[in-house]
Structure 1
Amino acid sequence: MHEPSTDGRERVVVVGLVATPPDHPARIVDLLSGELAELLSTHVDRRVRWEVRSDWGAVAPRRDAGLGALLDDVAERRETAGWDITICLTDLPLHVSRLPLVAHYSLRRRVGLVSLPALGLGQVTAAPAAVLGLVEGLAVALVDDRSRPREEGVGRLVESVAPVRRVVDDADDGEIGFVSSRITGGMRLLAGMVRANRPGRALLGLSKLVVGAFGTAAFALTTNTIWQMGAALDGPRLTLIMLLSLVGLVVWLIVAHDLWERASGETPRELARLFNAGTALTLGLATCVSYLVLFAGTVTAAALLIDPTVLSQSLGRPAGPADYAVLAWIITSLATVGGAVGSGLEDEDSVRTAAYGYHPTPTGRRDDTVQDGGPGGP
């Protein structure tokens, strides 16, 4: 790679970035494609002009055949497009020997893969280092197919984004993966799945639920029986009611909108469990944020609408700020359950975006965007 081409012209290396599915991975590719050529020139080889092209992969990548099938699909895309090296970024959680796979490169295919969820929460900042490491390892194959990648250099770059260890294929044919630990890596994988699933999008998709809950809370504020009920309940029971309302809402959303992923011939059982965990955690985070917003709105409305003397007469004692907080607490819990009715009015696609295995068909397509980086920079 360091030598000029036989005709004396500057060596050009085309690196393709493939996002599959074209949802969260596509946003990472968009951010990365604009700066990757310069990064490659700076960190890998300044004497090469790097061309970076981006494309979309399958909207719904194959789940049943695992890593090998995904690498074959990416290799086919590389050959069809005429790229020298291709790196795939995916939100599909992958495992090797039951350990979370962070990255993998295949020398004979000249393709690499990064599993974004395995990078944890900092995917935007970690992805460039992982891609740089994979490209550096694959670039030697452009000079001599029999060359071995510089595993130490690749390992350092990949290991800088997450604690990993290398797994070499028994056939020793240039198949090298980077896996993390079962416990710590598994926790990072789940956190990364929630990040990739965009809880903010799930929260916006439940707007009618929040509106319905506010309506229920407004009605409950006018009922002095609720005031007395809240004053009679202690902290542990109020906490239990809150937890039951949140769990009940998440279960209702999953059941009512058929968000539960079932194991099948196309979806292995382990993958289905991961998808369901990602969906439940995403909905749980979205409903907790909704609960806090509803609580803040309810306590503000209670302070504005209910005079302290009126509340004191109902409670039979002087009312203070704690009584308003407790009143808002019990009303928010009850309104959260009532808001489940509002979720039935949501657009089905808006709610289904919270399901980890659901990938809507994109409305547009951006293909073959080119960024060049010559010697010393782009």
Structure 2
Amino acid sequence: MSENLGHLHGPNADGWERVVVVGLVATPPDHPARVVGLLSAELAELLSSRVDRRVRWEVRSNWGAVAPRRDGGLAALLDDVAERRETAGWDITICLTDLPLHVSRLPLVAHYSLRRRAGVVSLPALGLGQVRAARAAVLGLVEGLATALVDDRSRPREERVGRMVEGVAPVRRVVDQTDDGEIGFVSSRITGTLRLLAGMVRANRPGRALLGLSKLLVGAFGTAAIALTTNTIWQMGDALDGPRLTLIMVLSLVGLVGWLIIAHDLWEKASAETPRELARLFNLGTGLTLGLAASVSYLVLFAGTATTAALLIDSSVLSQNLGRPVGLADYAVLAWIITSLATVGGAIGAGLEDEDDVRAAAYGYHPTPTGWRDDPASNGDDTSWNDGRPRGS
């Protein structure tokens, strides 16, 4: 591409052959805004070294809609991004979103539109390593779009753009024959969907959900401490075998996740604004996020209960109660059954959790981050964020 960009204008007063302004738009401004913040700090240098050193690359950052349209899909998102590019006076704009996008029911990883001079990267479709993958995808999309700035008759270097995007995930190109210059990159139905779900959980920040369950965990510890003093629980644990203990554990975790979803109205319903397939993905993302957070809470509770049991219950007392010699495995089984029962007790108290903390685990709801501002150089506005509100409202 370096042989093309300088053809439009001769060197300017600064010695640069051309200035290209690239806008990065995060929508919704939660997880995507963090990725945009990381990329915007290094993107200009990367573009200079990997695309064209004779061009002065200027990078601007901005936000997209807190609640992007779900019913319009990719086209609505591209239209919104293109409108923001025109308003801000950018040459190229790339949108990073955590909204799951599909083309012909296949997960969309990236897309660029020459007509709009805009591109989109779907962060969850990149899987777990989203910052590294987004960096490579954005570089590829910018190169393809920047080529079109020089000569409207030229096609972007699709092979190179394709290789850069294909390097971050196994994808294939989809060219829209009815709309020239619309090229997407989709992944496979099975592995791509699994990667998409993993990326949705990553974007949903399970650690935030875990913090939201902190009160529940404290209450469960209290329940476990009381249960440790009850010899009936000791005998119950001794009488249960591994499969039944495993079943009780699974049921306790499922019950906890189900109660959180019901008590805090986290279930996404299909509607005119939210297609059924998208609502299903949102609910899977929410369930997996809460399931991961609940599992980590369970392990923490198990470790604490096992340690407390070993410190408080002498082996001779436990052996006398069970009528046989005991070892470490008996303490582990005791902690196992008590942890499962305490988790159920914690689920009953889950309604006492902070509403915003728990709702933040829902994929269809993201509180608006405080402190995020438009880049004043991009549109002359310095508007700060308001309070959080549902992303899908």
User: Smaller-chain TM-score range?
Assistant: over 0.9
Report the counterpart of residue 3 of structure 1 in structure 2.
6
Tell which has more relative contact order, 1 or 2 (C-alpha 8 A, sep 6+). 1
For residues 2-27 of structure 1, what are the alpha-carbon distances to aligned partners after superposition, in whole Å with 9 as ceiling and x for unaligned? Answer: 32654631210000000000000000
Q: Distance in 2 between matches of 1:203 and 1:180?
A: 31
Q: TM-score, normalised by structure 2?
A: 0.93
CA distance in 2, matches of 1:201, 1:156: 35
Q: Which amino acid aligns with 1:31?
A: L
Q: Which residue of 1 aligns with 2:360?
A: 353
Task: Map 1:231-270; keep pairs closer than 5 Å.
Answer: 231-270=238-277
User: Where does residue 130 of structure 2 map in the other structure?
Assistant: 123
TM-score by length of 1: 0.96
Q: For 1:293, what is the secondary structure of its paired residue?
A: helix
Q: What CA distance in whole angstroms lies between the structure 2 residues aligned with 1:97 and 1:6? A: 41
Q: Which residue of 1 is the match for residue 21 of structure 2?
A: 14
Are the aligned partners of 1:17 and 1:53 in contact in 2 as well (CA < 8 Å)?
yes
Cα distance in 1 for partners of 2:274, 2:84 equals 23
**What aligned pairs does 1:280-319 form with structure 2 within 5 A after superposition?**
280-319=287-326
Q: CA shift at 1:318, angstroms? A: 1.3
SS at match of 2:352: coil
Cα drift, residue 144 of structure 1: 1.9
Aligned equivalents of 2:9 and 2:371: distance in 1? 41
- Tell me, in whole angstroms, the C-alpha distance in 2 between the residues paired with 1:141 and 1:170: 18
Structure 2: give runs of 5+ residues left out of the alignment.
Answer: 379-393
How many pairs align?
Answer: 371
* Residue 376 (structure 1) aligns with: none
Aligned position for 1:272:
279
Aligned partners of 2:351 and 2:313: how far apart in 1?
Answer: 31
**Which one of 21, 30, 33 corresponds to residue 26 of structure 1?**
33
State yes or no: 1:67 paired with 2:70.
no
| 1:159 lines up with 2:159 in the alignment | no
Mapped to 2, the partners of 1:203 and 1:128 lie a distance apart of 28
The whole-number CA distance in structure 1 between the counterparts of 2:87 and 2:113 is 17
Alignment partner of 2:86 out of 79, 90, 96:
79
Equivalent of residue 63 in structure 2, options 56, 79, 84: 56
Answer yes or no: is 1:326 the counterpart of 2:333: yes
Query: Residue in 2 aligned with 1:375?
Result: none
Q: Deviations along 1:185-227, whole A, 9 cap, x unmatched?
A: 0110000000000001100011111011101100100100000
Q: Please say if 1:186 is aligned against 2:204.
A: no
Shift of 1:242: 0.4
Deviates more, 1:292-301 or 1:314-323: 314-323
State yes or no: 1:365 paired with 2:372. yes
CA distance in 2, matches of 1:363, 1:24: 13
AA matched with 1:272:
A
- Identity over aligned pairs, percent: 85
Is the 8 Å Cα contact of residues 231 and 327 (structure 1) preserved in structure 2? yes
What letter is aligned with 1:306? I
Cα deviation per residue 1:18-54 (whole Å; 9 max; x = unaligned)?
A: 0000000000001110000010001110110000010
Amino acid at match of 1:112: G
Displacement of 1:248 in angstroms is 0.7
RMSD (CA atoms):
1.2
Equivalents in 2 of 1:290, 1:242: separation in Å?
12
Alignment match, 2:107: 100
